[in-house]
Every structure is written in structure tokens, then in C-alpha cells.
Amino acid sequence: MLMIVIPLLFDISILFLVRRQYIAVDLAASLLLIMLSVGLLSAIYIVNEYTIVPFFLILPLMLAGLTLRIQGLWVVLIGLLIGLWVVLGMIPSGPLYGGGYIVNVITASLFLVIITL
């Protein structure tokens, strides 16, 4: 429940701040992308599901492509790839420790790069 309520309140507050022109749209988009990326990466760690969830990392890339400049898109891609491999290194039974799904992780990483290109 908290994984839904906290991001929802964060997103509403960001939209309110942009609407009142307290923060710029670029900053708001960056904050929303960070929140989405952290949520997806933490879902990989919490649920311990590294077979399909890494493919959902396309969502921050799609949002970045719509809201940020090209440099921001590359920053998001690099951040997602680093975050993915760091999270997978933290899971004790993850693919980096002989979980057997390293092919899915490499495929997801290449998929993110191809979508970005």
C-alpha cells in the first residue's frame, strides 16, 4: 500500500508545484523520472523478481524521451543500467550470484539501449 500511496502523493505535489510555477517543468520531469526509476528498481529488489521486471524499465526511458532533452535521455539510460546492475548485485540469490537468469538481465539491458537509440 505504501509503495502506491507515497509515489502518488509525491506526483500530486510535484504537479501542484509546477502548476503554481514554483518549479520548472524540466526539474519536475526529472523528479518524476527519478521516483519512477527508484520505484521500479526497488520492486526488483523487494519482490526478488529479475526475470520480467527489468523490462519495465522502458517506462522511464519513454517518459524521458517525451519530456527531456537528448542529454537527459542518455543520463536516464546510464542511471537505469547502473541501478539495475547494482540492485542485482544486492540480491543474494540474484542472477549475478548464479541465479541462472543472467541472460534475461543482459537482454533487458540491451533492450534498453536499443530503445534509447
Under DSSP, the state recorded for 69 is: -
Task: List, for residues 20-39, the tens digit of each pLDDT value.
Answer: 989 888 888 888 888 888 88
Instruction: Find the mean pLDDT for residues 86-113.
Output: 76
Determine the pLDDT at residue 98: 61
Q: How far apart are CA 117 and CA 96, in angstroms?
A: 26
- Residue 15 CA from chain centroid, whole number: 19
Residue 79: band (very low, low, confident or very high) from pLDDT cuts 50, 70, 90: very high
Q: Which of the pair, 78 or 90, is modelled with greater confidence?
A: 78
Q: How far apart are CA 66 and CA 22, in angstroms?
A: 22
Instruction: Find the mean pLDDT for residues 58-67.
Output: 90
* H-type alpha helices, 48-69: 58-67
pTM for this prediction: 0.77
Instruction: Supply the mean pLDDT for the chain.
Output: 83
